[in-house]
Amino acid sequence: MSAIYLRRRITNWLAMGLSMLATLIGLAFLAWILWETLRQGIGALNLKLFTRITANGADGGLANAMVGSLIINFIGIAIATPIGVLAGTWLAEYANRTKLGETIRFLNDILLSAPSIVMGLFVYTIIVLPSTALTHGSTTFSGFAGGVALALIALPVIVRTTDEMLRLVPSTLREAALSLGVPQWKLTLQILIRAARSGIITGVLLALARISGETAPLLFTAFGNNYMAVNPIDKMSSLPQIIYQYANDPGDDLHAMAWAGAFVVTMFVLLLSLASRLVLSRTKVSHD
Amino acid sequence: MPATDTVASSIDVLERRSRRDARDERLFRWLLKGCALLVLAALLGAAGATLWGGRSAFSTFGWHFLVSTAWDPGNDVYGALVPVYGTVATSLIALLIAVPVSFGIALYLSEVAPAWLRTPVASAIELLAGIPSIIYGMWGLFIFAPFFANHIKPWLTNNLGDQPDDGKLSWVAQHVPFVGKLFGSSYPFGASILVAGIVLAIMIIPFISSVMREVFQTVPTRLKESAYALGSSTWEVSWDIVLPYTRSAVIGGIFLGLGRALGETMAVTFVLGNAMTLSASLLDPGTSIASTIANQFSEASGLQKSSLMALAFLLFVVTFFVLLIARLMLRQLAKKEGS
């Protein structure tokens, strides 16, 4: 075999080997991170975590953080879902191929990966500062502000999936309805959104998965609270924020609780992304 | 004449209904458009709010803010250079590691791996993208940084750095410029610019590799098969056919990863050590824009708070343009596909 063939063959083997190695590296880190989260998290799980609050410190639990997370995430999704679905509908049904529509679609993709901490500062400026000024300091940081910050992060996810899913709906459906004299808004709300429903639900679930692990935008909006807070105008604690606080604390007991919180958040996020996949795969089957 | 009456009134009903429909349609359109414009408002608002918040820092320090290494709450003097350097350095390290690894993963998943293995491995890598950044931060702080400090850092400082434990400089540190400085450190802990870069790299690998894999799959099969028919190896097809065909989208994917890395807060804050000092060594602690804000904003006031807002504005503008380039590059391939 001549030298050039040998060299090409060796280059090929080397490249293939390295690409396999790269994949193994990626998988190894995934396994390492998940394994540590499971090991340290399950070891620290106990009933106190779900029944006691963070005011008790090392002897307490994360109950207020879990409740806070649920409330803040709910507010975020409740704001982002209607706005996101309507905006996505506008992009797909009304502004497809218009200049403004293309621009907004493009900017939405940028918002999708914009730094979340800046979104936190934005909400701090438009909600926390004015509410402090209006109430003379009695309401400052609030769960509601945290929810709005998360809504800004969930919004582009929902806009994008709604837009994409609506554009997958066959145009015969639109033509059939329009030829019967159905006004376009009725067609959109009662036929198209229904046809794309499971895709849109997937988008909402993905957005929820995305925001439930967010920490940075909550630091200056919901702030944190060592006591149970259920009123959205109060300062509110959340799991990621408590994880951040406890992990930076020197105490080993608090580290264990941070791991337990990390375990809960990770499981929640992974289950959500699994659920969104299931919803989507079910749709695909029904379309066949 | 009752018959004409009914006709007239039914025409009337129809007309009223179509007028109502037209009005509803207009309202609906405006509602939808308003919601879409909120996306625009969010971007403009974030830029505007941080610029407004940072106005007193910009007006006090002017352009000097960008090049000053000072960060002194005692004397109320602030400069952006240390956090900007930390952000740029960690992101570049992350790209240096993540780009080749992501390319390898994308290559493996689109050209090398047996078909039955592709979907499960791709899903597993995508799982990595779903893990919240705070989990990366914790893993980095409690697991990876100590591991790095015990096993990797001693080797680096002794064999590459200019401050080895036994005082004897290695050949590399003596003869290769800059390397000694980059890896010389007397700081005993793991948290450093390099560790933050590595953690960031792991975070952005799934983003870059999934973009690359997606665009590799858009290469027309006939192009690849023509090359195979001429006797090319898998590597030659990938390097000479697939990569040139998808070049702009690959660069777009890399910029997308860069955008993520620049703005990442939590993962970096945990492993960067949060030192407001400029050090040439990658093994020394540092800070980044996002982690400076996360650490200081709650307790800051006055000019310090304004400086943090100004930092946020810088970060937002830079990430905006990086992501803009990313999306433009990605769109080029989409256009090629369409034609």
How many other CB atoms sit within 10 Å of the CB of residue A129?
A: 15
Q: How confident is the model at residue A287 (pLDDT cuts 50, 70, 90)?
A: very low
Residue of B32, B198, B270, B287 for testing the chain A interface, max A β-carbons within 10 Å: B32
Rounded to whole angstroms, the Cα distance separating A271 from A209 reads: 9
Reported as a single tens digit per residue, the pLDDT across A52-77 is: 998 888 888 899 999 999 999 999 99
* Residues in A 196-255 with any Cβ partner in B closer than 8 A: 209, 212-216, 219-220, 223, 240, 243-244, 247-248, 255
Residue-by-residue pLDDT tens, chain B, 339 positions: 566 677 778 888 889 988 888 899 999 999 999 999 999 999 999 999 999 999 999 999 999 999 999 999 889 999 999 999 999 999 999 999 999 999 999 999 998 899 999 989 998 998 888 899 999 999 999 999 999 999 999 888 888 888 887 777 788 777 887 888 888 887 888 899 999 999 999 999 999 999 999 999 999 999 999 999 999 999 999 999 999 999 999 999 999 999 999 999 999 999 998 888 888 889 999 999 999 999 999 888 889 999 999 999 999 999 999 999 999 998 877 666 654
* Beta carbons of B146 and B169 less than 8 angstroms apart: no
Phi-psi group of A27: left, alpha or beta (phi > 0 → left; psi -120 to 50 → alpha; rest → beta): alpha
Structural tokens at position A242: 């408590």
φ, ψ dihedrals at A96, nearest 5°: -60, 125
Residue A250 confidence (pLDDT)? 86
Beta bridge pairs of residue B72:
B77
Instruction: Check B46 against A90: CB less than 8 A apart.
Output: no
Reported as a single tens digit per residue, the pLDDT across A194-228 is: 999 989 999 999 999 999 999 999 999 999 999 99
Which residue carries 């800004």 as its tokens?
A152
Chain B residue with CA closest to A115: the answer is B263
Residue of A4, A7, A18, A33 for testing the chain B interface, max B β-carbons within 10 Å: A33
Contacts of A271 in chain B (CB under 8 A): none
Beta bridge pairs of residue B71:
B78
Residue B90 confidence (pLDDT)? 96
In the predicted model, is pLDDT for residue A13 greater than 90?
A: yes
3-state secondary structure of B273: strand
**pTM for the model:** 0.92
Rounded to whole angstroms, the Cα distance separating A6 from B337 reads: 36
